[in-house]
Amino acid sequence: MKDQALVVVDMLYDFIDGSMACQNGDAAVDAAVEYIRKNPVPRLFVCDNHPADHCSFTEQGGPWPAHCVQGTRGGQIHGKLLPYCDEDLVFYKGRDRSREQYSGFEGVNDAGQTLGEVLGIMDIRNVIVCGIATEYCVRNTFEDLRKAGFTVYLVKDALAYVDYKGHLEAMAAMAQGGARLL
Ligand code: VGL
Ligand code: ZN
């Protein structure tokens, strides 16, 4: 199990049962928990974490309903995953109100380290990804991981998506980009 880690992207209430509830959200959480139980590798969590007036929101002219607002339940990691989550390995993104940020790669933990930096410190080469949404944050995180030279695996049952067709297109693009399916 050396040099492997799991990156859990945006498995947050707003993407599961909240303002941006995605397809397959609950099943994806259960699949992620099952994966973790069977594969005890280090886990890094990415969290969308927006100020209330973020440019991503329709009120500000953005494409999405308000979601994952700082300090709200919608921005919290699903309770089923909390037993497997270490605060030092939680990386926040989307805090800058003026820009959209789908990739978790530059998410920052409370100590100010980025996800990419911490993967480097941990000597990780193989990154397993699950989470939400396949077409947006999962895909962008995947692309940044590949650019940085990681081998990337996707836990296909542990993904949720805005739109099924979009999910399939993103899966095809990621397969083309070197994703290995688990
Ligand atoms: C996401 C839309 C807006 C995601 C985040 O996690 O995929 N999508 N913010
Ligand atoms: Zn967002």
* 137 has catalytic annotation: yes
DSSP-derived 3-state class of residue 181: strand
CA trace torsion 114, 94, 127, 4 (10° rounding): 50
Ligand nearest to the CA of 70: 2
Q: Answer whether 131's CB lies under 8 Å from 158's CB.
A: yes
- Position 1 scores a pLDDT of 54
What are 105-150's pLDDT values in tens digits? 989 999 999 999 999 999 999 999 999 999 999 999 999 999 999 9
Q: Which domains does the chain have, with CATH numbers?
A: 4-181 (3.40.50.850)
Residues near ion ligand 2 (CB < 5 Å) are 48, 56, 94
Q: Which of 47, 68, 130, 137 is catalytic?
A: 137
What confidence category does residue 12 fall into, taking pLDDT thresholds of 50, 70 and 90? very high
DSSP-derived 3-state class of residue 116: helix
* % of the chain surpassing 90 pLDDT: 98
* % of the chain surpassing 70 pLDDT: 99
- When the pLDDT of each residue in the chain is averaged and rounded to a whole number, the result is 97
Angle at 43 between CA 120 and CA 5, to 5 degrees: 50
